[in-house]
């Protein structure tokens, strides 16, 4: 996760609400990607894309909204999310990992 001035993102807009990022404030940027994406795509491209889309729509977007985040960019197997608060970014990331691990049957560490 990166902490950078939100002014750097001022020209970007949210894909869902088209609102610009606030200027002059600090933002926590969460960067995430899918582990094993190339292998998953090689084994089942259609199924992988379907599962990733479902995960984003059913889990990630609601978690991001619940923690006051803003989806900045989707990139194949990755995404960038902006939060005004580091606490919101971290609690979102932890909830996200718990949910994904539970869906994969990975249990807890």
Per-residue pLDDT tens digits for 67-83? 999 999 998 889 999 99
Radius of gyration of the chain (CA): 15
Domains and CATH numbers, the chain: 2-104 (3.30.70.1230)
Q: What pLDDT does 105 receive?
A: 78
How do residues 16-56 score in pLDDT, each as one tens digit?
A: 555 555 555 688 999 999 989 999 999 999 999 999 999 99
Determine whether 82 is exposed, middle or buried from the number of CB atoms within 10 Å of its CB (0-12, 13-18, 19+).
Answer: buried
């Amino acid at each position: 996760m990166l902490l950078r001035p939100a002014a750097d993102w001022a020209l970007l807009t949210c894909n869902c609400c088209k609102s610009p990022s606030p200027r002059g404030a600090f933002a926590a940027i969460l960067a995430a990607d899918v582990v094993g994406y190339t292998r998953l795509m090689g084994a089942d491209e259609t199924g992988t894309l379907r599962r990733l889309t479902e995960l984003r729509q059913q889990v990630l977007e609601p978690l991001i909204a619940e923690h006051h985040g803003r989806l900045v960019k989707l990139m194949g197997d990755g995404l960038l999310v902006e939060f005004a608060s580091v606490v919101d970014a971290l609690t979102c990331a932890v909830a996200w990992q718990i949910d994904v691990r539970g869906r994969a049957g990975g249990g807890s560490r």
